[in-house]
Structures are given as structure tokens and as C-alpha cells.
Structure 1
Amino acid sequence: MPGRQRMSPAQRRETLLDVGARVFAQRSVEDVSMEDVAVEAGVTRRLLYHYFPTKAEFFGAIWHRAHAAIAASVAPRPPASVRDGIDQALAAFFDFYEANIPLVIVANRSSISADPAVRGPIDRDFAVLCTVILDAAQARGAARRYAEVAFEGWISFVRSTALAALVDGRMSRAQCHRLCMDALDATVGAHVDLTLSSSP
């Protein structure tokens, strides 16, 4: 019988992320130790710490990988306007939240939720998204600076509202979606034209 094929570092990392995602979905972050994950993955703690020096960095990598799926899930058809593109992305964001509730709770309501290892990669992704949106809206000068601040505030609003709707059940998803788009128009839309075509 041939021996098992040795995993590449990239394959090993993905396997550890798969195991971590499963463990964090079953238990609160406070109840999960790196040793638990190592045992579940069939590796030593030393190997796990080689890839992820802290629990926050480990979860941050899991969360970032899951979050990256949002872009892939956005409808492939080109939106008619910048606003329509944001509307599609928002729907994909809500789909992601609904499909990853346990991870969402860890990322937003746990003891490591504010850790830079958890927040940093996602904040950078949103900064890139902001740039793409404002470029498409042809935002320039002072209007762009105001819109950048407005977009940061809008993202925080979306996160809080999504938790209220999809985790706490305080409103329906449709109500949440409308509220977020209304907030977009009142904040970012007050400084740039979101009705412009998204096509180059």
C-alpha cells in the first residue's frame, strides 16, 4: 500500500481552516482551545501554532476566507448602476450571514471580535470595495472624502442591522435590506451619484 501523500503547506493550511470552521460552528470561541483544534485536526499544537500564532489569528483567517466568498456569490450579470451593484452585493452579504450564523456571532459578539486579527482583513476588504464603488461613481475631491467616511459608517450600520435581523429576528430580511439601502442613499448617496452606470 502506498503511503499517504504529503500535504503542501497551502493544503495543510486549508485543512486546518476547515477543521477550525467546523469547531467554531459547534462551540463558542471561549470554549474552544487551540489544543482542541489540534486534536480534532490530528496535528500537534506546535504545527497549528506554526500556521496560526494565536486563536484570534486562526479565527481571523477562517472568517476572512468565508467572507471572501461574498464576492464570488454576487450575481454575474452587470448591474445597471452603481447603486444596483451595491444592492446585489448587499443581498450576497445577507446570504453569507444567514449561511454562517455561528461564525458571524464569533466575529461580532465574542471576546475576540475586536481583535485586529479578526477585524483587520475584513476592514481592508471593505476599503477596497469602497474604492471600487467611488471610482465607479466618479467621485472626486471633497465629495469623495465625505463619501468615504459615509461608506465606513454605512458598513457599520449594515453589520449592526444584519445582526438585528438575521441573528436576533427583530425585523425581516426584506425590511433590513430596504433600511440599509435607504441609509446608503442618505449617507453615501448624499455626496456622490450612485445612479451612474457601473459599466466602464
Structure 2
Amino acid sequence: MPPRRRMTPAQRRVQLLDVGQKIFDDGEFEELSMDEIAARSGVTRALLYHYFTSKADYFAAIWQRAHETLGAVPAPAPNDSLRDWVADQLVAYLDFYRAHPHLVIIANRSSVAAKPVVRDVVSVHFRAMAAALFDAAGCHGHERLLATAAFEGWIAFMRETTVATLVEQTITAAENLELALAVLDATVGVHARLDDVPLAVS
């Protein structure tokens, strides 16, 4: 193990996240134990666990940091339909996933994929999109509950088609977008109008 460099807690956390990102980019996350990750980081196993209580927690932190490059979900533009707005958001997400293919694999096809700490981080941006969508559509009450349940199912669908696009490469990005919008229309669209809706901009 290389000599450990003295850092502030914030600097050490960033350094550990940087090492983890490199491990993900190299496609080695599944193969390495926390002991091996600690050794690559130049820290003890105990110190790594001080910052991240589990491998799933470690991945979730790296995934969350990577998502910050997307920024907050923007409000729908006044002159676009809600469906067009969702399509624009999906293109941005798919571009992000294309730039981080190993993060997609780990979030959907790894030993930590089903952990709540991972699933919650992966879903947070989609849920922000849902809230903005339903607010702009004026979707309230029980219809909003139904639309929210449909949207959660749509997220699961999107996970599978995105893996098929970026990992298995059995469908194209354009086909993925087409499938996503068709399923959105058939599920969420039953409870929240998506086409030609004047967007409520506060």
C-alpha cells in the first residue's frame, strides 16, 4: 500500500470517489472487494468503511456524484408539449448513460443493484421528472397516484431497454427512445395528458 497522504475529511471522500470512478470506468467493480479497493486508494479497510458503510453505499455515492453532471431537472418550456419535454429529458439521460456504461451495468446487473441505497439514487432524477411532469399537466388527486404508479413501472421498463441499448447493444438508441415514449403514452399518458398541454409555468 502506498503511503497515506494527510487530507481533510472532504478531500479524502473526494479522493475515494475518484478511485471508485476509475474502478467503474475500468469495469472492475464486481471483481474487487472493499479490501482491494482500499488498497488501491492507499487507505486502510477501516478508513474506507468509515466513509462508506458498504460496497452498495460506496457505489451509490459515486453514482450520485456522476448524476450531478446532469444538473437539476429543468421546468418544462412554455411552448413545448409535455411529451416533447419528456423526450428531451430522455435524450439527456441516455447521453449520460452512454458516457457512463459501467455505472449502468452495476446499477442494473450487479450484486448491489437491488440494494435500496442504490435503487433510490438511480431513481431520484426520474422521480423529479415525474413531479415536474405532473405539476405541469395539472395532474392531482387519485389520478396523480395512478400516474405515479405507472411512472414507477415505466422507470423499470426504461432500465431494461437502456441495458439492451448500451450494454447488450441489441437495440439502437433511437429504438430505445421510441419504445420509451410508446410505453409512456400507454401507461402514464392514460392518467396525465401529454400531448398539446399548455404548460403551467410559475
TM-score (norm 1): 0.87
Which is further off, 188-197 or 162-171?
188-197
Query: Which residue in 2 is equivalent to 1:78?
Result: 77
Q: How does 1:101-116 map to 2 (within 5 A)?
A: 101-116=101-116
Deviation, structure 1 residue 105? 0.6
Q: How does 1:42-53 map to 2 (within 5 A)?
A: 42-53=42-53
Q: Deviations over 1:111-167 (max 9, x none)?
A: 111011211223344333322221111101221111111111111111111111121
Deviation, structure 1 residue 47? 1.5
Query: Which residue in 2 is equivalent to 1:88?
Result: 88
| Secondary structure at the counterpart of residue 30 of structure 2 | helix
Query: Which residue in 1 is equivalent to 2:197?
Result: 196
Tell whether the 8 Å contact from 2:130 to 2:148 is kept in structure 1 after alignment. yes
Higher helix share: 1
Stretches of structure 2 that go unaligned for 5 or more consecutive residues are none
| Secondary structure at the counterpart of residue 170 of structure 2 | coil
| Secondary structure at the counterpart of residue 30 of structure 1 | coil
RMSD, matched Cα: 2.3
Q: How does 1:13-28 map to 2 (within 5 A)?
A: 13-28=13-28
TM-score (norm 2): 0.86
| Secondary structure at the counterpart of residue 31 of structure 1 | coil
| Secondary structure at the counterpart of residue 71 of structure 2 | helix
Deviation, structure 1 residue 176? 1.0
Distance in 1, matches of 2:18 and 2:38, equals 12
Query: Which residue in 2 is equivalent to 1:130?
Result: 130
Which is further off, 81-90 or 22-31?
22-31
Query: Which residue in 2 is equivalent to 1:175?
Result: 175
Distance in 1, matches of 2:18 and 2:189, equals 39
**Count of aligned positions:** 195
The AA in structure 2 aligned to 1:162 is T
Tell whether the 8 Å contact from 2:63 to 2:103 is kept in structure 1 after alignment. yes
Identity rate, percent: 46
Deviation, structure 1 residue 70? 2.8
Q: Deviations over 1:49-95 (max 9, x none)?
A: 110011111111111222333336x7899362322221111001111
The AA in structure 1 aligned to 2:88 is Q
